[in-house]
């Protein structure tokens, strides 16, 4: 009797446990082959623990990707704010979404999209809960009639497509059918599938409500549909979605099947069961081919395209060979008649250089005519002259423009954003200016360091009985660049008839040396009133040396202040770079949210003001 009772109890336990186990079994949802050869699916597990294993037609799948939606993910929250949601329904929907936001993981990125007659992104993707909570609390009903449900899903999918996080989820809440979208249900499903996003749909099942579109959206993308009899249940529904995401895996792999084949996909979790689902790979004609490039005509992708390209390449090679042979023949003929025309080798090179120069002469002339009178043009010319760069101003300007254009082409080629495109173009255009400016500073500093010794050399020459002009010639013969080059130019101008005083003053302005200008002014006065010029040079040299020593002492005393300024300016950029490399998700709100852009702008402005203040503190005019 006891054995009979135990057998009946065991049978009852088994009968009760089987439905429960069946309800909590592993589920395979939304097998999608539209991105062939990539197969995507969602796997729901009873507990969410354990990585699922996959088999295709009985063969284990190797190298598949599995992402648990309970870990780091990007969530697009879509809320219907049409006129049918006026009052308590919209308030309950916002409250449920805010509770969902408050319970999200810190690393999850969340955006808020409201849709009525039109779609509006209320908050871009951000890990900061406040960025999503504020627009949800301020959400208002749309003034115009209409529900653009499909357009909202398409907009969310397009945003998720550019998100780097592997887990992508769309949570959409609506109380009615779509009646204002430009897209269709099929377009919305395709957009979500392309973005590899699972749609979790919430329907407020009021009078006349049809859940079919939302159910199709959810089932086609591996998500799930939740019905709510009233808006007071929305908070519970959002909690259920959060729990379901922790138990869902999003998997994808590259299939070995061919278009048109049927596959049997099996997913299993150790200790939790397995499930199998049949799917069919779309035929080759129905697989969306990649959009051809717009740079080439459509016929280039047909059967005659490769033939046309081959003919074009052959013609280019033929023309290249003809030009090469014509050049050889021309060189041979020119070498035969050069003895009779008197054209030497150097003269031929000069002619070729002049021919190349004539190609750009018209452009250079037009540029100089348009910009030659500008103050900035003269400043660039003076900078090139001080740096001793053997380039005309117009040539240097076109080199800078060419560098900027070349970098712009590279930025377009690699698909840089608008801000990065502008920044790279400007930076590349400023590289030649930076190089010339550094060379100018180095040359002016070298002249300033040589100045006391030059003045002593001139004084020694005068004491030996030589003239002032011969003293300058001694500097040219015994000095070092750049001083000997500049004095040689002064002597050349003086030999051509320019007054020596004017040439020296022009040199002082060209070298931007206040000390040398002071020396030349003293020499000019002394030559006019008379006296010992050698003694004056000794005094001026001693004064210049003392001024330089005093300037170096001031720079040494203010070195700590300058280093503090460099450190305070560099630390924010260094920390931003390190944090971006270590944890990009943490820094994304700073780079990709409106509030982050405002913070960056305020920080840069404050750093600029602080830099000016620090520069004023440590600067000194000797």
Q: How far apart are CA 581 and CA 383, in angstroms?
A: 39
Q: Is 401 helix (H, G, I), strand (E, B) or coil?
A: helix
* Same domain for 611 and 510: no
Contact criterion met (CB below 8 Å) for 512 and 482: no
User: What per-residue confidence (pLDDT) applies to 21?
Assistant: 39
Q: How far apart are CA 460 and CA 469, in angstroms?
A: 13
Q: How far apart are CA 571 and CA 376, in angstroms?
A: 34
User: What per-residue confidence (pLDDT) applies to 251?
Assistant: 84
* Same domain for 393 and 350: no
User: What per-residue confidence (pLDDT) applies to 170?
Assistant: 92
* Same domain for 74 and 43: yes
Q: Is residue 206, in this structure, part of any structural domain at all? A: yes
Question: Would you mind telling me the total number of residues written for the chain in this entry?
Answer: 622
* Same domain for 385 and 534: yes
Contact criterion met (CB below 8 Å) for 39 and 280: no
* Same domain for 502 and 432: yes
Edge-first strand order for the sheet with 53-56 is 59-60, 53-56, 262-269, 273-280
Residue 459 Cα distances to 101, 456, 537, angstroms: 83, 5, 5
Domain boundary among the residues 371, 390, 409 is at 371
User: What per-residue confidence (pLDDT) applies to 290?
Assistant: 46
Which residue has 């020119």 as its token pair? Answer: 334
* Same domain for 210 and 166: yes
* Same domain for 610 and 576: yes
Q: Is residue 443, in this structure, part of any structural domain at all? A: yes
Domain boundary among the residues 315, 350, 371 is at 371
* Same domain for 406 and 260: no
User: What per-residue confidence (pLDDT) applies to 602?
Assistant: 92
Query: How many domains in the chain?
Result: 4
127 φψ region: left (φ > 0), alpha (ψ -120 to 50), beta (else): alpha
Contact criterion met (CB below 8 Å) for 218 and 201: yes
Q: Is residue 78, in this structure, part of any structural domain at all? A: yes
* Same domain for 518 and 381: yes
User: What per-residue confidence (pLDDT) applies to 330?
Assistant: 52
User: What per-residue confidence (pLDDT) applies to 621?
Assistant: 63
Domain boundary among the residues 323, 343, 371 is at 371
Full-model pTM: 0.48
* Same domain for 379 and 367: no
* Same domain for 313 and 261: no
pLDDT < 70 stretches in the chain = 1-24, 48-49, 284-310, 312, 319-360, 415-417, 620-622
Q: Is 558 helix (H, G, I), strand (E, B) or coil?
A: coil
What is the domain range of residue 605? 559-618
User: What per-residue confidence (pLDDT) applies to 126?
Assistant: 86
User: What per-residue confidence (pLDDT) applies to 373?
Assistant: 82
The pair of structure tokens assigned to 372 is 């030659």
Q: pLDDT tens-digit profile of 216-257?
A: 888 888 888 888 877 788 888 888 888 888 888 788 888 878
* Same domain for 134 and 54: yes
Q: Is residue 134, in this structure, part of any structural domain at all? A: yes
The terminus-to-terminus CA distance of the chain in angstroms comes to 115
């Amino acid at each position: 009797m006891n054995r009979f009772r135990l057998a009946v109890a065991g049978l009852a336990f088994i009968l009760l446990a089987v439905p429960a186990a069946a309800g909590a079994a592993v589920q395979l949802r939304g097998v999608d082959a539209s991105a062939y050869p990539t197969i995507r699916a969602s796997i729901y597990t009873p507990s969410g623990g354990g990585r699922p294993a996959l088999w295709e037609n009985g063969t284990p799948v190797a190298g598949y990707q599995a992402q648990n939606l309970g870990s780091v993910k990007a969530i697009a929250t879509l809320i219907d704010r049409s006129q049918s949601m006026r009052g308590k329904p919209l308030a309950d929907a916002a409250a449920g979404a805010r509770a969902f936001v408050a319970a999200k993981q810190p690393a999850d990125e969340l955006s808020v999209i409201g849709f009525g007659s039109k779609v509006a992104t209320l908050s871009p993707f951000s890990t900061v809960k406040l960025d999503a909570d504020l627009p949800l609390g301020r959400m208002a009903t749309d003034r115009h009639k209409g529900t653009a449900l499909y357009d909202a899903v398409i907009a969310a999918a397009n945003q998720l497509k550019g998100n780097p996080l592997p887990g992508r989820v769309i949570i959409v809440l609506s109380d009615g059918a779509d009646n204002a979208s430009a897209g269709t249900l099929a377009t919305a499903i395709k957009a979500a599938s392309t973005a590899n996003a699972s749609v979790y749909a919430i329907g407020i099942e009021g009078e006349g409500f049809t859940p079919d579109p939302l159910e199709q959206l959810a089932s086609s993308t591996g998500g799930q549909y939740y019905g709510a009899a009233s808006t007071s249940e929305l908070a519970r529904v959002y909690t259920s979605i959060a729990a379901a995401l922790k138990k869902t895996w999003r998997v994808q792999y590259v299939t070995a099947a061919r278009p048109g084949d049927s596959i049997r996909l099996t997913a299993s979790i150790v200790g939790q069961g397995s499930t199998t689902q049949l799917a069919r790979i779309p035929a080759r004609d129905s697989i969306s081919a990649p959009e051809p490039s717009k740079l080439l005509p459509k016929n280039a992708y047909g059967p005659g395209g490769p033939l046309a390209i081959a003919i074009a390449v052959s013609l280019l090679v033929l023309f290249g060979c003809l030009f090469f042979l014509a050049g050889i023949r021309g060189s041979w003929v020119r070498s035969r008649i050069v003895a009779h025309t008197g054209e030497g080798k150097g003269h031929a090179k000069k002619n070729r250089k002049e021919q190349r120069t004539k190609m750009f002469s018209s452009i250079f002339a037009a540029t100089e005519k348009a910009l030659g009178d500008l103050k900035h043009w003269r400043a660039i010319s003076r900078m090139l002259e001080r740096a001793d760069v053997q380039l005309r101003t117009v040539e240097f300007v076109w080199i800078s423009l060419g560098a900027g254009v070349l970098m712009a082409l590279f930025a377009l080629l690699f698909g840089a954003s608008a801000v990065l495109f502008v920044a790279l173009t400007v930076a590349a255009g400023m590289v030649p200016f930076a190089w010339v400016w550094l060379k100018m500073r180095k040359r002016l500093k070298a002249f300033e360091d040589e100045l006391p010794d030059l003045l002593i050399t001139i004084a020694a020459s005068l004491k030996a009985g030589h003239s002032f002009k011969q003293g300058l010639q001694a500097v040219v013969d015994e000095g070092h660049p750049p001083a000997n080059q500049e004095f040689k130019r002064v002597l050349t101008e003086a030999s051509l008839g320019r007054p020596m005083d004017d040439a020296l003053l022009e040199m002082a302005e060209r070298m931007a040396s206040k000390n040398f200008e002071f020396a030349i002014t003293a020499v000019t006065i002394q030559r006019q009133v008379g006296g010992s010029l050698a003694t004056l040079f000794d005094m001026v040299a001693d004064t210049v040396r003392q001024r330089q020593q005093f300037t170096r002492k001031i720079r040494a005393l203010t070195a700590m202040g300058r280093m503090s300024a460099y450190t305070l300016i560099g630390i924010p950029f260094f920390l931003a770079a390190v944090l971006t490399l270590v944890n990009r998700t943490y820094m994304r709100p700073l780079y990709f949210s409106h509030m982050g852009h405002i913070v960056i702008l305020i920080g840069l402005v404050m750093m600029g003001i602080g830099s000016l203040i620090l520069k004023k503190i440590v600067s000194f005019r000797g």
